Every structure is written in C-alpha cells, then in structure tokens.
Amino acid sequence: MPTYQLNINGERREVTVDSSTPLLWVLREDLKMTGTKFGCGISACGACTVHLAGIATRSCIVPISHVGDRPIVTIEGIGQDAVGRAVQDAWVEKDVVQCGYCQSGQIMAAVALLKHTPKPTEKNIEESMGGNICRCATYPRIREAIKSAAAQIK
Amino acid sequence: MRRIRLILFVSAAVLTLTLYIVEVRFARADVPDTTTTAQGLRAWEQVYSVLTHPRCINCHTATDYPQQGDDRRRHVANVVRGGAEGKGVPGLNCAGCHQESNADSTGVPGGHNWHLAPLSMRWQDINDRPLSSAAVCRAVTDRSKNHNLDGPALLKHHEEEALVKWAWNPGRRPDGTMRTLPPITHEQFVAATRQWVEAGTPCPAGR
C-alpha cells in the first residue's frame, strides 16, 4: 500500500493506506482524529466536512489519493485561527448543540462561509449551510451563532 | 473582315470569361452553398445530440442548481449555483466534492475547474426540459452569450476543454457501474463540430 504525507492542522502526518480510502476514514481510523463524523457516506449530510486547501470538503467521498499536498484543517484545528475561534465561541454562547453529532461539520461549513463572506446575509447563510443536516433541527441557533460570530470578526 | 471577326471573337470570349468569374465570385461571397449548409445542419444535429445528453446538459441548467444522473434529478445536498462563476457557495463549493479527476472508489465525478455553465449557456428551460435544436444553436453561436467564441473557437472548445472531454470519461457511479456516454464518440463530436463550423455554423429554423 502507498504511503501518503499529509498536512493536517499544520502538522505533518504519514499514513500507509489503500489509495481508495476516503479521507474521513484516514482521519478517524488511522489517525484517531474522531472529531470529524461519519454521517451518510455519500456527501449528502455534511457531518464529515473538513477544509481542504481552504475549501469546505466532504471527506467521506474524497479518496486519500486525491488529497495531494493540500493542507487539511479539521475540527480539532479550526480554533487555531481567529474566525474558527469566533465561531466556536459563538456556538457556546448560543448553546447551539443538542446531540452534537453534526456540529463539527456545521462549524466547518460556518467557518468556510465567514472566511469568504464575513458579513453574510440570511440568503448567504441559508445557501452555504443548506447542505449540512441537523437531525435535532438546531438550525435557528446555528443561524444566530453565525450572526454572532460575524459580529465578533474584525 | 477576318481580322474584325477575330477581334469580335476574342472580345466575346473575354467578356464571357469575365462574367463567369464575376458570377462565381459573387456566388461564393453572397449565396450560401446549399449542399454545404445542409451538411452543416446535419452535423449540428449530431452536436446537439451530445449537448443535450445528461453528461452535458446536467450542468447547463436554467435553474439555480445542477442536476445529476441520467434521470437529470436535482443535485443532492441542496447544492446551488452561487455567483456568476457557477462554482457553488462557500459551504457548498463544487470543488468540495468534485476533485481534479473522477473518484471511482466513491463514485464522485471530477474534472478540472468543475462548475456550472453560465445562465447564458442554459440549454433547458426552467422546467428542466431541453431547449429545441434551433434555440440551443442560436445560444451557442451568439457571441454575446458564449464568451465571444467564433466558429474556430467553438471547435477548439469542443476539442480541448477538460469538462467537455470529461463527458466521454465520466467514471463510475457510486454502485460501481459506468456512467453512460453521449451518443457519439468524442472524435465524431469534434468531426461534426468541424463540419458545422466549416459550413458557417448554420442553425435550424424555428423556435
């Protein structure tokens, strides 16, 4: 099996896995970074969202062989930058989480939105977060948290 | 007398030749060659058969979302067009799933610069019905809508553009089966486009 050099949350990690292994499984099974969740496995729910070269990416359907040298940021590392920290703080402030299973993906999508659109409209939020499903229906609190984070970002 | 006849004969011959040349040049300049136009229209219908195949038309929508599959259903995950570039929105960017090449192990198609075609290049109506051959032809040849592509540039686009060529290498579905291909090969598609372009990109009459 091939060996891959990965840049995850600013650290170099090495894994030897089958080339078809989805990035999600590498994170969870090989690197034991279990903050990123398995939801649907077909890119339909957003629970597995990570950032790949800054793009919110569904890690369940990206084979490790397609990652290359692009930097990966997961929920474990998202608090390292100002936008990520603001979003996490807002999530706590608004008490967004219910069961919490989808929330790492929600936060990763929210950070991608705010990095691109620091002052999002309702439509921006609706469209950008529209692919992240929450079984507990915490959507109103997610919206409020995103607005709160946006207000905190300079 | 013989000299006069010779002069008259030569003058008539020169006049006839001149009229013939003028007529031929005039015809080439202003009167379409009906045979070539007919061939061009037949070639266009081959091109149209590809443009309206799901591998192509699924991303040439008139709506705010792409389609997927041979049944041309709405794309999963509430994916939307996004801005003018048609690459989705920050949390749902096309490149967030569609990588630089097909991911056959997970069934996700991929290619360079994955995006929706601009609305000016929509080949279906808002009810997802393909536009007529005449309407698609008019759109494709309208340089105010097609990124100012003339005939040779359209040929180059069909011959070389990565996402066009992807239609003949669309990879596997999540169930492992191969995605269907357009009705003719890429070589036939390029040859038909060339013939259509050489005929002056004629479009069928009608709406």
Q: What is the pLDDT of residues B132-162, one digit of tens each?
A: 999 999 999 999 999 999 999 999 999 999 9
Tell me whether residues B91 and A58 touch, CB distance under 8 A: no
pLDDT score of A59: 98
Tell me whether residues A58 and B97 touch, CB distance under 8 A: yes
Tell which residue, B184, B149, B204, has the closest CA to residue B51: B184
Among partner residues A46, A56, A62, which is closest to B93 by beta-carbon distance? Answer: A56
As for the ipTM of the complex, it is 0.95
DSSP-derived pairing of the beta strands A55-58 and B88-89: unpaired
Tell me whether residues A44 and B91 touch, CB distance under 8 A: no
Asked if the C-beta of A57 comes within 8 angstroms of chain B's C-beta atoms, the answer is yes
Q: A104: part of which helix (H) or strand (E)?
A: helix A103-116
pLDDT score of B97: 97
Contact between A107 and A88 (Cβ < 8 Å): yes
Q: Is the pLDDT of residue B24 over 60?
A: no
Distance of alpha carbon A72 from alpha carbon A23, whole angstroms: 10
Tell me whether residues B89 and A44 touch, CB distance under 8 A: no
Q: pLDDT band for A117, please (50, 70, 90 cuts).
A: very high
Residue of A nearest to B80 (CA): A127
One-letter identity of residue B166? W
Q: Is the pLDDT of residue B46 over 50?
A: yes
Interface test with B, best of A55, A65, A142 (most B CBs within 10 A): A55
**In the predicted model, what is the mean pLDDT of chain A?**
97
C-alpha B133, offset from chain centre: 11
Residue in the block written with tokens 């040298």 = A69
**In the predicted model, what is the mean pLDDT of chain B?**
89
pLDDT score of B83: 84
The pLDDT tens digits of the residues spanning B50-107 come to: 999 999 999 999 999 999 999 999 999 999 999 889 999 999 999 999 999 999 999 9
Range with the poorest average pLDDT among A71-85, B13-27, B113-127:
B13-27
Interface test with B, best of A17, A24, A25, A42 (most B CBs within 10 A): A42
Nearest chain B Cα distance for residue A147, angstroms: 15
Distance of alpha carbon A108 from alpha carbon A132, whole angstroms: 10
CA distance readout (Å), A19 to A22, A27, A75, B104: 8, 14, 24, 11
Distance of alpha carbon B72 from alpha carbon B92, whole angstroms: 20
C-alpha A47, offset from chain centre: 8
CA distance readout (Å), A91 to A77, A98, A102, A119, B30: 16, 11, 13, 17, 71
pLDDT score of A20: 97
Q: pLDDT band for B6, please (50, 70, 90 cuts).
A: low
pLDDT score of A103: 97
Distance of alpha carbon B116 from alpha carbon B121, whole angstroms: 10
Q: pLDDT band for B3, please (50, 70, 90 cuts).
A: low
Q: Is the pLDDT of residue B38 over 60?
A: yes
Over residues B24-29, the mean pLDDT reads 42
Contact between A152 and A92 (Cβ < 8 Å): no
Tell me whether residues B105 and A66 touch, CB distance under 8 A: no
Percent of chain A with pLDDT over 70: 100
CATH 3.30.1280.10 fits A3-73, yes or no: no
Which sequence spans correspond to the domains of chain A? 3-73, 78-152
Taking contacts as CB-CB distances below 8 angstroms, the residues of chain A near B93 are 55-56, 112
pLDDT score of B84: 86
Tell me whether residues B89 and A127 touch, CB distance under 8 A: yes
- For residue A12, give the 3-state DSSP assignment: strand
pLDDT score of A154: 79
pTM of the model: 0.88
A78-152 topology per CATH: DNA polymerase; domain 1 (1.10.150)
Q: pLDDT band for A128, please (50, 70, 90 cuts).
A: very high
In the numeric block, which tokens belong to residue A47? 């629970």
